[in-house]
Amino acid sequence: MMRYAHVTGWGMAVPENVLTNHDLEQIVDTNDEWIISRTGIKERRIAAKDETTSSLALDAARRALSQTDLNPGDIQLIIVATASPDFIFPATACLVQDQLGAVNAGAFDLSAACTGFVYALNMAAQSIRSGSLDNALVIGAETLSRFVNWEDRNTCVLFGDGAGAFVLQASEKPGGLLSCVMRSDGSGGDLLSVPAGGSVLPATHETVDQNLHTIQMNGREVFRFATRVMASATKEAVDKAGLKLEDINLIIPHQANSRIIEAAARGIRMPMTQIVMNIERYGNTSTASIPIAICEALEDNRIKPGDNLVLVAFGGGLTWGALVLEWTEPEIRPISIWSRRRRKLLLLLARLRSFGLRLLRKLEGFIWGASSQEE
Ligand code: COA
């Protein structure tokens, strides 16, 4: 019996705070005209003080889950693809697991920079197709504004914050994820990196003074690499799915630069009407850019059941990849108002449970400490 992995729920979350190109003119030596003509970006969202990668991920995940018949306790795996995690460890996925009350889920982060969501979707879908899992929650979430050097006009105009989430579920109905290519070239790792904060350059006063905890980028080289791989990865994934480019209804590319997207479209001779672009409102949100673009395309009725989609991305690592997804009508199982209320209550209880668990651990530690001192 063949198993397929279908997207049954989706959701996005972006901070309310908007930073326009005009706002940036007050921060660095740049102008609206330059940013629009070279990147296509008009504004981006910036996380408020109390927002983090995990809080945006959680909001997107809640929305995605609410479209499915799953309770938090039914989720078997949570992958958060991110380049701006809350911590080196614990994984951001574990923070989401806790706040969601996904008590039966494994949780880990996936680090493949902006290609992370494509990689993560493929890994989750393959686990479902192999029969080892029945569902998974895949999230792309970022607060890149915390890793940007706000004095560097070459990079600070490009990035933004946000999150997008998909729920994948197993089904015998054909469709869902059809194929994927995942590639990398570590020889170009230094073209886009955060040099310090890892084991090579642990945090010191010097690394902070030299701004080495922020994004460093060779824009021109990354641009060249991106235009080369977007078209080739798309073609390869389509071929692997046994389809032709004519069979593809819509392409959802990683939103890094409108000129890169337009060059990729020319490379596969696809009109821009078949390509989703929303970079003007969000900038580059790394792993979140593809799921956010899909949520908006669904909202605009640009995606219909039976459509073949290509998701294609590139990023630091260097990494790149593309996958073909046959969009299927989720089998709408009627969700009663009671089970909806029950799920809301479960989500509320998750926070209480997390608090209770922490308290219990403290108490246990206290008792354990007291008894071991007695020995
Ligand atoms: N405002 C005004 N001028 C700027 C600027 C800004 N925000 N940023 C850079 N410039 C200047 C540069 O200093 C340079 O000036 P110089 O020639 O006097 O040194 C000039 O603009 C042109 O630089 P160049 O690198 O040729 O621009 P470009 O057309 O290649 O565009 C990028 C620069 C960064 C927009 C482009 O290279 C790019 O998008 N690269 C890919 C980056 C990316 O996608 N990264 C994420 C990958 S996931």
Whether 205 is a known active-site residue: answer no
pLDDT recorded at residue 355: 92
Instruction: Choose which residue among 31, 38, 279, 290 to substitute to test ligand 1 binding: the one with the highest number of ligand atoms within 8 A of its C-beta.
Output: 38
pLDDT recorded at residue 342: 82
263 lines ligand 1 (CB under 6 A): no
Q: Which of 102, 161, 149, 45 is nearest to 351 (CA)?
A: 102
pLDDT recorded at residue 331: 64
Helix/strand/coil for 104: coil
CA dist., res. 121 & res. 123, Å (int): 6
What region does 45 belong to: left with phi over 0, alpha with psi -120 to 50, or beta? Answer: beta
Q: Which of 71, 134, 96, 108 is nearest to 13 (CA)?
A: 96
Two tokens, residue 144: 């890149």
| DSSP classification of residue 172 | S
What residue ranges do the domains of the chain occupy?
4-326
Q: pTM here?
A: 0.94
User: Which stretches in the chain have pLDDT values below 70?
Assistant: 331-335, 373-375
pLDDT recorded at residue 333: 59
Question: What's 4-326's CATH class?
Answer: alpha beta
Q: What is the pLDDT of residues 200-219, one digit of tens each?
A: 999 999 999 999 999 999 99
pLDDT recorded at residue 315: 97
Q: Using alpha carbons only, how large is the chain's radius of gyration in Å?
A: 21
Q: How far is the CA of 276 from the centre of ligand 1 (A)?
A: 23
Give the angle subtended at the CA of 323 by the CAs of 237 and 63, to the nearest 5°.
Answer: 170
Cα 203–chain centre separation: 27
User: Amino acid identity, residue 46?
Assistant: I
pLDDT recorded at residue 374: 63
Q: How far is the CA of 154 from the centre of ligand 1 (A)?
A: 5
